Amino acid sequence: MWRRTSGLIPSGTATLRATTLAAVLLSAAPSAAQTAPESTTQAPSAFSEQAARLGVSRCANLFAGIGRAATVGSTYAVQVQADGDDPDAHTVQGVVGIAYDRPDTQGQAAAVVSAAPAGKGCEGQMVRVAPFQLSCPEVLGLLPEGSTAAGDLAGVPLHNLGGNQGQALLVPSGSSCVVVSIARMVDSP
């Protein structure tokens, strides 16, 4: 049985480490610092607060790290779901509404982040959908250095992001481009 928080809880603003458009919307995988457990000097995120409220502890740090990676440079609200009977034995999932209001990046996006027990550790995923007011060929030039084409999926270009940051699908939509960022992360003991 799934249970939810009682609605969307605004988190405030996630800090931005890089100010380029590419870093805000295309980078998917967190740095080593972002996957580490949240320190006592860092304010807890809405992801960790809601997971704790639902009784999630086992994969809470990975879940919060994935959430921070998905929302860097934004204001966001998240609704977290976890199993009501045994939250540490099942997936914890967050559905996220994201708003970017920066001089170089404005607009809305959405993400789904999740973490689940796997063996003695945890595995998690993030899928973020961000529309750009640029064409897909223009967005292609913004992908992280080292990104490579990985083929087409039913005509939709797939790219492996440089620096092992995950993958991106570039979906044309009229004269703009919708970027679907996908990343998988593992937290093992």
43-92 confidence digits (pLDDT tens):
568 999 999 999 999 999 999 999 999 998 899 999 999 999 999 999 99
107-124: average pLDDT: 96
Per residue in 19-46, pLDDT (tens digit) is 234 444 454 444 332 333 333 334 568 9
Q: How many CB atoms lie within 10 A of CB 12?
A: 11
Q: How far is CA 98 from CA 33, 107, 151, 160, in A?
A: 22, 8, 28, 23
Q: How far is CA 127 from CA 1, 80, 89, in A?
A: 24, 15, 22
Q: Which residue has the tokens 């799934």?
A: 2
| pLDDT tops 90 at residue 137 | yes
Confidence at residue 188, expressed as pLDDT on a 0 to 100 scale: 82
Global pTM reads: 0.79
Do the Cβ atoms of 180 and 171 come closer than 8 Å?
Answer: yes
DSSP string, the chain: -EEE-SS-EEEEE---S--SHHHHHT--SPPHHHHSPPPTTSPPPHHHHHHHHTT--TTHHHHHHHHHHHHTTSEEEEEEEEESS-GGGS-EEEEEEEEEESSS-EEEEEEEEEEEEETTEEEEEEEEEEEESS-HHHHHTTSPTT-EEEEEETTEEEEEPGGG--EEEEEEETTEEEEEEEEEEEE--
